[in-house]
Homo-oligomer: A and B are copies of this chain.
Amino acid sequence: MHRLGRRLQVPKGQTVVLEGDESLVVGNVIEGLLKLSVVSADGVEQIVGIAYPADFIGRPFGPSSGHSVTALVDSTLCVFPRRAFDAFTEEHPLLAQALLRRTLDDLDRARSWMVLLARKSAPARVASLLLDMNRRIARPGNRVVRLPLSRQQMADLLGLVIETVSRSMTSFKAAGFIDLPRGRLLEVRDLEGLERIASG
């Protein structure tokens, strides 16, 4: 299957799949980080998901993609032409199976994100995101991570406004839960504290 695909380098900021277009390619993230986003009529962007390495992107079969896919940092993908992929799937049931499992997982994640958007307070949302990113990005050894998202992007993901994100973070810092040495650097100092906020 890997023979069908080819490596694709995507520089930061470039869009791979455009909202509303038929998805021309599908593929896996090898390295990097992409956002899945929808921009509504009034120009407000909502990020509906983040694709980490090993995640699948694109919309096989049927209709057009409901969201754009854009690289947040320089990324490398393994892509397949969509139509070839659709056909390939018919002949290789295990592929469809594997993809089905992942899609079910994605669906579960989307649904729990819905709960966050519908019910949690702004600080709880921000804390959840910080924990999630810390968990997925942290390398054992260095306790400070570089956040891959700007404040604006965090806001777009959480359904908040940039000022609210900023205020939440400085309040966490004041409470000693985190440190923000500068720019996008983050150190979690009190995981439990942050978790308590996240579940409030």
Q: Are the CB atoms of B66 and A111 closer together than 8 Å? A: yes
Q: Are the CB atoms of B100 and A48 closer together than 8 Å? A: no
Question: Beta-carbon contacts of A150-169 to B below 8 Å, as 1s and 0s?
Answer: 00000000110000000000
- Smallest CB–CB gap between A196 and chain B, Å? 11
Give the number of residues in A that approach B within 8 Å (Cβ atoms).
40
Q: How many copies does the complex hold?
A: 2
A115 within 8 A of B: yes
**Which residues in B have their C-beta under 8 angstroms from that of A119?**
40, 44, 46, 159
A interface residues (Cβ-Cβ under 8 A, vs B): 36, 38, 40-41, 44, 46, 48-49, 59-62, 66-67, 89-90, 93, 96-97, 99-101, 103-108, 110-115, 117-119, 158-159, 199
A177 to B158, CA, bound (A): 32
Q: Are the CB atoms of A114 and B112 closer together than 8 Å? A: no
